[in-house]
Structure 1
Amino acid sequence: MSELGDGEAGGGGAAAQHPTNAPARVRVTAPRAGVAGAPTRPLTQLSPVGPTSDIAGVYVRSLIRSQLRLAVVFAAGFVAATVLFVLVIVLVPGLDSSYVFGVPASWLLLGGGIYPLTITVAALYVRVASRNEARYRSLAEDA
């Protein structure tokens, strides 16, 4: 027989897959908030007790709030700028009739305006988010 044919190494019997001396598998999950019987404890009770853990929790929550605020501001700005591009194309009818190198000016405005806008917004977001994280790291190291 082949090496895998007798059920020892590759996938035959149940004994090969579940040895008798192995502990049973346990699924570890977090308790869901609002479910009957689920413990409701503040964040500080889940971490080791002490003043540094409280400060670390405050720093983490502050970082999360600042990153969320940053994402919302950049997303709203990007949507507003994109809507502005579309409104300019819709409200200025002469763009469709004027051509540059055989391409309608409205297409050039979209292609030459939206893609650089997207790249600029993404680069600025990454830069500011990295700055926020660096501030968090410096505060967390000091604590």
Structure 2
Amino acid sequence: MSLPAALAEIAEDFNALPEPERLELLLEFSDNLPALPARFDGVELEQVTECQSPVFLTVEVADDAQRTVNVFITAPPQAPTTRGFAGVLKEGLDALPAAAVLAVPDDFPSTLGLTRAVSPLRLRGMTAMLGRIKRRVAAALEG
């Protein structure tokens, strides 16, 4: 599987750790998920209903030659696993060209080596986040 450099590095970091420590790394991504910019105050974002926690996201696709993507995700602090997945996607996809975001395999979450550390339902939530990001990027390119 070919991943953008940032996502490949994140996957390598997870897989380099023993299984118990992978969850700790996920929680670090949770801590590093930035708050939404003030311009999104009062703006309705798309809810990722597959997530057990209230997760909302949107993307912006620039009009530059690469159609650079900016990802914005919010998840509650009381849901550190979900926030961690959101942080992985924010860090791994933000500022990439649209084509690179669209080329990320849908099963990317399974490459993190977390299948025994988190529930399948949580992995499904991360897969849904990725799917929504990709759909929003594709819609921006078409529109």
TM-score norm. by structure 1 comes to 0.25
Hey, which of these two has a bigger chunk of strand by percent? 2
Hey, which of these two has a bigger chunk of helix by percent? 1
Between the two structures, name the one with larger relative contact order (CA 8 Å, sep ≥ 6). Answer: 2
TM-score norm. by structure 2 comes to 0.25
Q: Quick check: which has more Rg, 1 or 2? A: 1
